[in-house]
Amino acid sequence: MQEKSTDRWKSFESIESLRHAICEAIVNSANEAIAKRGRFSIILAGGNTPKAIYSVLRDLPMDWSKWHIYHGDERCLPIDHEDRNSLMANQVWLNHVNIPAQQVHDIPAELGPVEGAKAYAETLAGAPSFDMVLLGLGEDGHTASLFPNHEVDNSADAVPVFNSPKPPAERVTVSQNRLNNTHEVIFMVTGAGKQEAVDNWRKGVKIPATLIAPANGVDVYCFEVKVQ
């Protein structure tokens, strides 16, 4: 295998054990960041696996007043659309805990890809390095809204996305460089449909997920895919 030594692959026997391990990692990261720096900044991912994790997090006794919430990407849909990542996070988690409203930074993708990205880039310009970035992996190897065969745009901290291979075609994503400006990265990889993407990653094929390579490496939590 040719994957970087800083890619740490972790396999789980059940989806429950994977969720538990990710929750534990988030809690540990938060407690450490708050102890060291007085705040915890996290990038959220969308999808069913994160949704289940967020629903567990909301019941934990955390110092929510020190949390700062950001999103890795967002679909250009109305703010109350069921496919918005921010709506999901709010419904299952953020509406139930006492994070100050000014510390929850949704991507204003309802403004369209260009204006939404411009506004979010301004938000991110005032934010320090992230403490943790949560990411998923698509069957095509994409992560956030960094897709195969799309030019990598690092012109700003958040950039517009057009012609997404998955609907809707227009999105806003945090850029590769900004996602890499973090202390920790967790990839959540669940489902046998991700096997080809995982195989390519581990063989050294340059799928979009491999663009995320911060100094401390990444942790890849896997269920129903083989990593041996």
Q: What is the pLDDT along the chain (228 residues), one digit of tens a residue?
A: 444 547 999 999 999 999 999 999 999 999 999 999 999 999 999 999 999 999 999 999 999 999 999 999 999 999 999 999 999 999 999 999 999 999 999 999 999 999 999 999 999 998 999 999 999 999 999 999 999 999 999 999 999 999 999 999 999 999 999 999 999 999 999 999 999 999 999 999 999 999 999 999 999 999 999 996
Extract the runs of DSSP E, i.e. beta strands, from the chain.
7-11, 40-44, 67-71, 73-75, 130-136, 158-161, 171-174, 182-190, 218-223
pLDDT at 1: 40
What DSSP state is assigned to residue 126? Answer: T
Q: Tokens 């996602």 appear where?
A: 179
Q: What is the pLDDT of residue 38?
A: 98
Q: How far is CA 228 from CA 9, 203, 212, in A?
A: 9, 12, 22
